[in-house]
Structure 1
Amino acid sequence: MTPLLLGVRHHGPGSARAVRAALEAAAPAAVLIEGPPEGDALLPLAADEQMRPPVALLAHAADDPGRAAFWPLAEFSPEWVAIRWALANGAAVRFIDLPAAHSLALAGEAGPGPEDASAETPDVRVDPIAVLAGAAGYDDPERWWEDVVELRGARPAPGSASADGAAGEPDPFAPFAALAEAMTALRETYGHGGHDRDLVREAFMRLQLRAAKKEFGDEGVAVVCGAWHVPALMTATTVAADKAVLKGLPKVRTDMTWVPWTHRRLARRSGYGAGIDSPGWYGHLFGAPDRPVERWMTKVARLFRDEDRMVSSAHVIEAVRLAETLAVMRGRPLAGLTETVDAVRAVMCDGSDVPLDLVRDRLIVGDVLGEVPDTAPAVPLQRDLARQQRSLRLKPEALERELDLDLRKDTDAAKSRLLHRLRLLAVGWGEPATGRGSTGTFRESWRLRWEPELSVKIAEAGVWGTTVLSAATAKAEAQAGSATALAEVTALAEQCLLAELPDALPVVMKALADRAALDADVSHLAQALPALARSLRYGDVRATDTAALGEVAAGLAERICVGLPPACAGLDADGADEMRGHLDGVHAAVGLLPDAEGIGERWRSVLRKLSGRDSVPGVIRGRAARLLLDEGHLEEDEAARLMALALSPGTEPAAAAAWIEGFVGGASGGGLLLVHDERLLGLVDSWLTGVSAEAFTDVLPLLRRTFSAYEPGVRRTLGELVRRGGGTAAAQTRTDAGIPGFGSGLDTARADAVLPVLGLLLGIDDNELNDLAGVAG
């Protein structure tokens, strides 16, 4: 008798149930499983009470942790069921696939990515499930598999004792015999049908199988592997031939451990086989002791009720009836996922797909995150992170959640430090978010979401140190030495203050002072100053000594004040727009700096120079004037005079439009300024009505960009002001300027000019158009 070959579909609950039944019936002395042999030493941990799937074996190159591969296992994975059965029944259990040392080395040379260096590669030329489904008349492989395996379970083979009713139970080996026969036929038709690396893996599996047969005998060995490989394991080959296939394989030194996995990650196309579309549904099918459809509808109803949707028991009953009716109409043995989704849509969602998105996200896929015992091997950095997570009660979760921190509280400040240190180490567990509450410096908001790939990031970061603090410090010091741009060093200084890395800060500050002394580009200095100003503020919040940082920031501000006016002369449109952004950034930064050296007054002097120099682009002159006006250092009369000069008939329309863009553009409250100061609105209106038709076409895009940034209410108010002619002040402004119209009624000549175009758009003749114009008037 040959060894028991149990061909499975990875992550299939029907396959998992069938494997468990076959192992119970055969009671083998050894169970061989498709997986990396380096994981054999970790298999006993699968029996630990703290181990909760989904989990994954993680292998990474010892010298290059970024080169990694995962072998994920869910509760409904046949491999997991086989491991648990072997451990519970005292059977030997081993992995027999190609070692990770070879697969990682091969993945580094070419072929699939690191995550796909495991069991089933994604570039298989033939999908056996799809071929079998097509032969059975199905156009959906998933539906065929559900019908013949997941929903029916194991069925007795014709002519067997079980089928004849001798034992009253189905033959537990029949499904595997049928599947092996089908796969043999497919491989005879399509060849090995997959990546050439499959031949290498299968040669290694045969060698491992021979060794197990010598140790335990033919009848004492069971093999659990992808069904596609079963014919290859049944093929008679020589030891020499298999060793020849494996000769010369590259190899790297690897480390391996267990890591938590998620249902959402199982739904991606990687790891054991292709990703499955509905891990939550498969987990439900595997775990439901009976009445799976009724239990599923109850879960859906509970989810909807938690989201304040009105769902009653009657909805559940009707949804179950509809799902079962659809299954009968479609010739299915039991209502599957398609039928349950259709029933939920019709009964609980009133035919809408919008609530179904919640069901797909929370239940069909799900946010289940596995757990791994503390005794699992881990790099020291991982252990330190786990210790801090427990201490701060920051449990990793697969579901994204918001975290609001008050930095005045010691625990919240410690959480902030940890998250900032991890960001510096490129472990993106948390991302800063805009908080719902205060925007002050004592508040922080984060979005937290744990992804399995972060385990690889932690392994990579382990080269910097054994604790989060030491690793972040070492990496910051290394980055300070390698950074070439001034903005990089200032951003790093900001990170060091946020992460509270006192040992790294002197190194970063020295690098910052050196780069700042050598960099003469004003735009670089202007780009760097805001980060330094924020760093000073953060240092104040965290009670950090930032005296050296303040000196560098003050020196940068002085150099900007000297170099900015000449740097703004002669800029093209793109350069002027970029410099306007720097102008805003420096202005905000100066407001945060201590004014002991009179930096504020020097900066205001620079703004006055910029606002009055004809050689400076209009967008910068307008912006400088606006900043002075907002700070109360420019009188409204002077602002009106500057606008009148910028919009005078002798100014090119494009230059005038650029000045307007700088003065009232963007989301800086320029619209409200025009609403409350009708003198300025009158000046803009008089200039705009005087622009020639040819020039108007050129300036229109800039004007649209300027005014489209206003709030709808502001745009509506401006329109009303212009329509009714504004107030007395606006009318007087236009009268003083000798320009009639604004404040004195509608300019009917200009209005009549658009009527022909309006008639073409509405498709009406001149008489109807004149009647319409009369009604509007």
Structure 2
Amino acid sequence: MNAPALLGVRHHGPGSARAVRAALEWLRPRAVLVEGPPEADKIVHCAADQGMRPPVALLAHATDDPGRAAFWPFAAFSPEWTAIRWALAHGAEVRFIDLPAAHTLAAPGTAGRDGPDGAAGPPPDPLALLAGAAGHDDPERWWEDAVEHRDGGRPGDGGPDDDPLGPFRAVAEAMAALRSAPEGGPAGDETSPADAGPPDPRDDAVREAHMRLRLREAVKEFGHEVTVVCGAWHVPALAVRRPLAADRRTLKGLPKVRTEISWVPWTHRRLARSSGYGAGIAAPGWYAHLYAAPDRPVERWLATVARMLREEGRPVSSAHVIESVRLAETLAALRGRPLPGLTETTDAVRAVMCDGSDVPLALVRDRLVIGDDLGEVPDTAPATPLQRDLARLQRALRLKPEAGVQDKELDLRKNTDAERSRLLHRLRLLDVDWGAPRASRTGLGTFREAWRLSWRPELAVRLAEAGVWGTTVEAAATARAEAAAREADRLADLTTLAERCLLAALPTALPVVLGALADRAALDTDVGHLAEALPALVRSVRYGDVRRTDTAALDDVAAGLADRIFVGLPTACAGLDRDAAREMSGHVDAVHRAVALLDRPGVGDRWTAVLTTLAEREHLPGEVRGRAARLLLDEGTLTADRTARLLGRALSPAVAPADAAAWIEGFTGGTEPGGGLLLLHDERLLGLIDTWLTGITPDAFTDVLPLLRRTFSDYEPALRRAIGERVANGPATGPTRVDTGPAWDPERAAAVLPTMRLLLGLDDEAEEERAIQPTAAARQLMDIRPDFTGGGAR
């Protein structure tokens, strides 16, 4: 070797990875320099650990601001990863030569960015330029044909790849031509005016100046037995000879922060360009397959697709696989490609296995072409104490992080599931949203919890940020809850926080939260705030015993809040505009549900009195009066006749149409289901609304239409259709109509006489005759049907 070998690659390209491996086998260098942050030199040895399974990433973050972070991802098919593993396996020195993360993270706007080119401003797309020069309009397809479908070759096999460095010389020549073009800029022109201010760490010229300095150091130590693996775009800049003083001058004045670095798991999905990764690729799963398949990559790929489709219930046989292979090869031949690529295999799968449908094909793209593979990092890799504690808990609770969506049903009566629940709730307090609660499909018991789990790489940054609160998950969640209690401005935030502390089983934090809650509740006189805060507090009181926690203090606070709401609610509802009235109606709903859970003597009766006041007070907003009437009706406190009178009064001609429509919205809408069913089964109420609606003037109808449409659009389509059919078939025509039931039929009535005689104990025929006279009461008695206003059958 007369000079260091510069191997220009495409990040995350399997063809480049194979070519790098062949070149390293031929060169046998003493040192391998890789594009990446030099801070990782001290932890690169972890890549040789048997427990390290890519995709993984280097995570660097500012020590004092963990949210300012950057990633350097590696997949099994990444050329840089191949170079690192080869060097560690053959005893060669491995060093990273890119600009240190200490400078990169000091630049504004770097939080959460992905390196190498995601963190430092990617250059113009060289693939697009080269593909255009070659007459191709698809850079990905051109790169597949030119590089990814090459087998890498071995020296002496007599094939076109007999010279392992030949492809890299060609790539270097192409990149030099691109960089010397007007749009690329001269390869060696990195100087800037002296008055341009401090250098930008994201500038290619700054990065490449540092790469040259590191290359000089390696050559001085190892001679020319040095190989550099970096993005192809940077090769011309590393090959040019520049004075040492010029490079040092380029780096002078760079901003700097203290940093920490570690290995974290990564996913194929986050390697995809669609994730926003600057150096991303279109098909990580496909590239992983190309790199791992020892032979017949097309046949193996299509067999994998068929297996996945069969698991999803599609009838795919071996004959489908054979036909798909033939079609893919035919398409490749017609398109002049050396081998079928992703485009050809996708077209074959769509035509043969998916019957031309894009629906199952979307599943193939999501699960296989992109994929959810999640890497693993060994315990020997450096990590913060909080990360280690979480890993310990994950192992102990058998709760392995996965990139895909994972649904978990927890039974809190079981110790393991209860501990899992506490862990997930504690992580949510730390903003590490590994799991999201959802509605349980197996029951409504308070001892059940349902979670949807999905581990995302960026959660590693959240975990690093949470490390400032403590060294264990419990200690960090406790400190975070106490800080949140001191910072909370709204009463509802504090009651929600108290509930979360109970769910997370944080007994140390709960007294602090309760103290802040009591202080805030004593000073807050806004009934809306009190009503917003009560539900979470009552849920905590009612369900806290499932987790065996003491909620006596919460019970007293909840009862006090309820009393203050009862006193102030009627006054607070006066003088509200439409939006405020709708919001207050929602508060009434929430308080009603909370009171039902509050186990205190007399609370229910006092709340019923408040609702009665709201329903009958004339000058309150229609939304509030209607909602109160509906809640009283559902509880059985308000009779059907009284409800009809309230509705008739609300819809009388003396009431403005907009106010009447607001009453209807409150009565038939709200957050609870069932308003539409009420109208469907109670013809009197439907008739009252129908008579009012058909009697208002055209101008008034235009004004109230948006409000009514919003109210009834919340109903299920089938329910709306049923109500429409009921109106079209002639519902009650007005408030004076009496439901007389079906026409009287003496013959049908006679059929029930024996049963009637037995039930009523009638022996005298005269008594019997009088008992079955066709009165309205008798007809109603015999017209047994569901009655949704009274809660039974009549």
| TM-score scaled by length of structure 2 | 0.89
- Asked if structure 2 preserves the Cα contact closer than 8 Å seen for 1:9 and 1:15, the reply is yes
Give the residue type in structure 2 aligned to 1:184: A
Aligned to 1:148: 146
Residue 492 (structure 1) aligned with residue 492 (structure 2)? no
Q: State how far apart, in whole Å, the 2-side matches of 1:379 and 1:646 are.
A: 65
Q: Deviations over 1:599-651 (max 9, x none)?
A: 21111111111111111011111111111111111111111111111111211
Q: Which residue of 1 aligns with 2:283?
A: 278
Alignment-mate amino acid for residue 172 of structure 1 = P
Matched, 1:198 2:196: no
Q: Which residue of structure 2 aligns with residue 32 of structure 1?
A: 33
Quick one: distance in 1 between partners of 2:694 and 2:463?
63
- The one-letter code sitting in structure 2 at the alignment partner of 1:148 is A
C-alpha distance after superposition, 1:339-365 (max 9, x if no partner): 000111111111111111111111100
Please tell me whether the aligned partners of residues 10 and 272 of structure 1 are also in contact (alpha carbons under 8 angstroms).
Answer: no
- Determine the structure 2 residue equivalent to 1:97: 98
Q: Report how far residue 446 of structure 1 moved.
A: 0.7
Residues 676 and 82 of structure 1: CA distance in aligned 2, closer, same or farther (over 3 Å): same
| Per-residue deviation, residues 527-564 of structure 1 (Å, max 9, x unmatched) | 10111111112312212111111111111111111111
Of 172, 196, 214, the match for 1:208: 214
| CA spacing shift, 1:122–1:295, aligned 2, 3 Å | farther
Supply the distance in 2 between the matched residues of 1:81 and 1:271 (Cα, whole angstroms): 24
Instruction: Give the counterpart letter for 1:640 in structure 2.
Output: A
Deviation at 1:682, TM superposition (A): 2.0
2:682 aligned with 1:682, yes or no? no
Query: What SS does the corresponding residue of 1:258 show, helix, strand or coil?
Result: strand
Counterpart residue identity of residue 574, structure 2: A
- Measure the CA separation in 2 of the matches of 1:135 and 1:507: 68
Residue type of the alignment partner of 2:162: P
Partner SS state of residue 65, structure 1:
coil
Within-5 A mapping of 1:613-692: 613-666=617-670, 668-692=673-697
Instruction: Answer yes or no: is the 8 Å Cα contact 2:262–2:381 preserved in 1.
Output: yes
Which amino acid in the other structure matches residue 521 of structure 1? D
For residues 238 and 172 of structure 1, do their structure 2 counterparts lie closer, same or farther at Cα, with a shift above 3 Å needed? same
Q: How far is the alpha carbon of 1:708 from its aligned partner?
A: 2.4
Contact 2:669/2:711, CA 8 A, preserved across alignment: yes
Q: What is the one-letter code of the residue matched to 2:725?
A: E
Query: 5+ unaligned residues in a row in structure 2: which ranges?
Result: 191-199, 744-794
Q: Distance in 2 between matches of 1:547 and 1:647?
A: 46
Structure-2 change in CA distance of 1:693 and 1:243 (3 Å) = same
Structure 1 residue 294: Cα displacement: 0.5
What is aligned with 1:130? 128
The equivalent position to 1:231 in structure 2, one of 232, 236, 243, is: 236
Partner of 2:781: none
Q: Provide the residue aligned with 1:757 in structure 2.
A: none
* Amino acid corresponding to residue 672 of structure 1 in structure 2: L
On the 8 A contact 2:485/2:513 being kept in 1, the answer is: yes
The question of whether the paired residues in 2 share the 8 Å contact of 1:33 and 1:225 is answered with: yes
Shift of 1:706: 2.1
Alignment partner, residue 768 of structure 1: none
| CA–CA separation in structure 2 for the residues paired with 1:405 and 1:272 | 35
Question: Is the Cα–Cα contact under 8 Å of residues 105 and 111 in structure 2 kept in the other structure?
Answer: no
The counterpart of 2:460, out of the listed 412, 435, 455, is: 455
Q: CA deviation at 1:582?
A: 0.4
Separation (CA, whole Å) in 2 of partners of 1:736 and 1:492: 54
- Of residues 567, 590, 596 in structure 1, which corresponds to 2:595? 590
Q: Shift of residue 123 of structure 1?
A: 4.4
Distance change >3 Å, CA 155–CA 386, structure 1 → 2: closer
| Alignment equivalent of 1:383, drawn from 380, 388, 405 | 388
Which residue is 1:87 aligned to? 88
Q: Which residue of 2 aligns with 1:362?
A: 367
Q: Give the total of aligned pairs.
A: 726
Question: How far off is 1:586 after superposition?
Answer: 0.6
Q: CA deviation at 1:271?
A: 9.4
Is the Cα contact below 8 Å between 1:34 and 1:119 reproduced in 2?
Answer: no
1:35/1:119 contact within 8 Å kept: no
Q: Which residue of the partner structure matches residue 474 of structure 1?
A: 479
Note the alpha carbon deviations across 1:90-146, whole angstroms, 9 max, x for none.
11111111111111112xx35x55414534657445211111100000001111100
- Cα deviation 1:646-696 (Å, max 9, x = unaligned): 111211111111111111224531222122222222222222222122211
- CA 134–55 in structure 1, closer or farther in 2 if over 3 Å, else same: same
Change (3 A) 1:22 1:732: closer
Does the residue aligned with 1:531 lie in a helix, a strand or coil?
helix
Verify the 8 A CA contact 1:523 1:582 in the aligned structure 2: yes
Q: Deviations over 1:259-307 (max 9, x none)?
A: 0000001114789852111000000000111111011010001111111
Say which SS state the counterpart of residue 105 (structure 1) adopts.
coil
CA contact (8 A) 2:70 2:114 kept: yes
Letter in 2 for 1:171: D
In structure 2, distance between residues paired with 1:472 and 1:272: 31
What SS does the corresponding residue of 1:126 show, helix, strand or coil?
A: coil
Residues 56, 258 of structure 1: 8 Å contact kept: yes
Q: 1:209 is matched by which residue type in structure 2?
A: L
Give the aligned partner of residue 22 of structure 2: 21
Structure 1 residues 360 and 270, CA, compared in 2 at 3 Å: closer, same or farther? closer
Match of 1:177 in 2: 169
CA distance in 2: counterparts of 1:680 and 1:130, whole angstroms: 69
In structure 2, the CA distance between the partners of 1:192 and 1:592, relative to structure 1 (3 Å rule), is farther
CA apart distance, 1:458: 0.5
Aligned partner (choices 300, 307, 310) of residue 302 of structure 1: 307
Alpha-carbon shift at residue 732 of structure 1 (Å) = 8.3
Change (3 A) 1:257 1:736: closer
CA distance change for structure 1 residues 590 and 120 in 2, over 3 Å: closer, same or farther? closer
Q: CA RMSD in A?
A: 2.1
| AA aligned opposite 1:174 | G
1:273–1:528 distance in 2 versus 1, CA, 3 Å: closer
Q: Distance in 1 between matches of 2:513 and 2:351?
A: 62
Cα distance in 1 for residues equivalent to 2:613 and 2:185: 79
Stretch moving more, 45-54 or 667-676: 667-676
Distance 1:322 1:269, change over 3 A: closer
Partner SS state of residue 223, structure 1 = strand
- Contact kept, 8 Å, 2:70 with 2:119, in 1: the verdict is no
Corresponding residue for 1:186? 178
C-alpha distance 701-743 of structure 1, shift in aligned 2 (>3 A): farther
**2:408 corresponds to which residue?**
403
- Report deviation, 1:731: 6.0
Could you tell which deviates more after superposition, 687-696 or 113-122?
113-122
Q: How far apart, CA to CA, are the structure 2 residues paired with 1:270 and 1:644?
A: 58
Secondary structure class of the residue paired with 1:60 = strand
Q: Which residue of 1 aligns with 2:581?
A: 576
Shift of 1:722: 2.5
Give the % identical residues: 68
Match of 1:252, SS?
A: coil
Which residue of the partner structure matches residue 74 of structure 1?
A: 75
2:719 aligned to which of 705, 714, 737: 714
Preserved contact between residue 13 and residue 76 of structure 1 (Cα < 8 Å): yes
Instruction: Read off the aligned partner of 1:345 and give its amino acid letter.
Output: R
CA offset digits 1:363-415 (Å, max 9, x no partner)? 10011000000011111111111111001100000111111111111111111
Residue 321 in structure 1 maps to residue 326 in structure 2: yes
Letter in 2 for 1:60: H
So what's the TM-score if we normalise by structure 1? 0.90
Q: Distance in 2 between matches of 1:731 and 1:232?
A: 88
Amino acid of the structure 1 residue aligned with 2:185: G
Whole-Å Cα distance in 2 between the matches of residues 20 and 155 of structure 1? 10
Equivalent residue, structure 2, for 1:288: 293
- C-alpha contact (below 8 Å) 1:280/1:364 kept by paired residues: yes
Contact 1:155 1:174 in 2 (8 A): no
- CA–CA separation in structure 2 for the residues paired with 1:99 and 1:552: 54
Mapped contact 2:104–2:120 kept (Cα < 8 A): no
Alpha-carbon distance between aligned partners in 2 of 1:380 and 1:673, rounded to the nearest angstrom? 58
Contact (CA 8 Å) 2:274, 2:282: kept in 1 or not?
Answer: no
Alpha carbons 2:7, 2:229 under 8 Å: kept: yes
Is the counterpart of residue 564 in structure 1 residue 564 in structure 2?
no
In the other structure, the counterpart of 1:333 is: 338
